[in-house]
Amino acid sequence: MKQNTHQQRTDNPWLGLMIGNSRLHWALFVDNTLNSAWDTDHLSESDMQQLAKTNTIPLSPSSSRPIFLSPNLPITLVLASVVPSQTKLWQTYPNVRLITLNNIPLKGMYPTLGIDRAIALYGAGKTWGFPILVIDAGTALTFTGADANQCLVGGAILPGLSLQFTSLGQNTGQLPLLETRLITSLPPRFAMNTTEAIQSGVIYTLLAGIKDFIQAWLSLFPESKIAITGGDGNFFQNFLQTHIPEITEKLILEKNLIFLGMEKILIGNN
């Protein structure tokens, strides 16, 4: 039966790796359950040499509990990547399974759709039901929606929070480079200093844009849930709750959405 083949595939521990544009996102699954998730920088040259030589992955969720991987029976690495140059580096690893759009049971996808968007969308729909809208607040901020038939409706891509600060900081003579993690409260809308003026412009414009996309989505699919993920997911969820309290009950923050999606894809019951 289908059930058994699934169990064979998923009962052993496996490591999920999502190669994002800024960093690597990892998750360890043990007994079909997400055991731990963590982020690292992209791997260095020497890390990659170690991987090629020993088939061990020089990373661990915590230094006190390293993952020791036997070269004879390497842990399955379930890989998805939006950075083609990084994908290639992992092809030396013997037990790697690359997830591509072909593995995702969504209809109507276009060929260049980002695999992270497709996995997160599928994971969210399988978890909270279709139709669904996913907001991924990462390096890029994306909206990706699917209808009740698990068919891609489409979405939008714009520079994420840090990238907006970076583009101002790096492409102007006088503007400082602001750090997202230092922002703990909303700035005044009409700011009287440079730092808060940048924060106001970027944050209120992003919030207004997100609100507008959510409202446009809900006018098409009033019963839809909206899942938020990505490095800035917390940030936006907090502010959206105060900004548009009426959608609070529809908003779901799930930091590990990409890994929920990988798990659903491995289980394979469409």
Ligand X SMILES: Nc1ncnc2c1ncn2[C@@H]1O[C@H](COP(=O)(O)OP(=O)(O)OP(=O)(O)O)[C@@H](O)[C@H]1O
Ligand Y SMILES: CC(C)(CO)[C@@H](O)C(=O)NCCC(=O)O
Query: C-alpha angle with apex 27: 97 to 22, nearest 5 degrees?
Result: 90
Rounded to a whole number of angstroms, the minimum distance from the CB of residue 190 to K ion is: 32
Eight-state DSSP code of residue 56 = -
Segment near K ion (CB under 5 A), from 91-99, 130-138, 163-171, 174-182? Answer: 130-138
Answer yes or no: is 157 a known binding residue: no
Rounded to a whole number of angstroms, the minimum distance from the CB of residue 70 to ligand X is: 29
Three-class secondary structure of residue 133 per DSSP: strand
Residue 122 CB contacts under 8 Å (≥ 6 apart), including other chains:
104, 105, 106, 150, 261, 264, 265
By the rule CB under 6 A, 138 interacts with ligand X: yes
Query: C-alpha angle with apex 41: 81 to 46, nearest 5 degrees?
Result: 95
The residue among 59 and 82 lying less far from ligand Y, judged by its C-beta, is 82
Q: Sort 140 into a burial class: Cβ within 10 Å, 0-12 / 13-18 / 19+.
A: buried
Answer yes or no: is 55 a known binding residue: no
Around Cβ 165, how many Cβ atoms within 10 Å? 22
Catalytic residue check, 147: no
Rounded to a whole number of angstroms, the minimum distance from the CB of residue 239 to ligand X is: 14
By the rule CB under 5 A, 140 interacts with K ion: yes
Answer yes or no: is 214 a known binding residue: no
Answer yes or no: is 102 a known binding residue: no
Pairing type for strands 132-137 and 140-146 reads antiparallel
Out of 31, 116, 147, 232, the active site residue is 116
Q: 9 to 68, contacts with ligand X by CB under 6 A? A: 20-23
Residue 152 CB contacts under 8 Å (≥ 6 apart), including other chains:
106, 107, 108, 109, 110, 113, 118, 121, 144, 145, 146
Judged by CB under 6 A, the residue of 116, 196, 232, 254 near ligand Y is: 116
Binding residues for K(+), by number, are 136
Catalytic residue IDs: 116
Binding-site members are 18-25, 110, 114-117, 136, 139, 194
**Chain contacts with ligand X (rule: CB under 6 A):** 20-23, 82, 116, 136, 138-140, 160-162, 180, 230-232
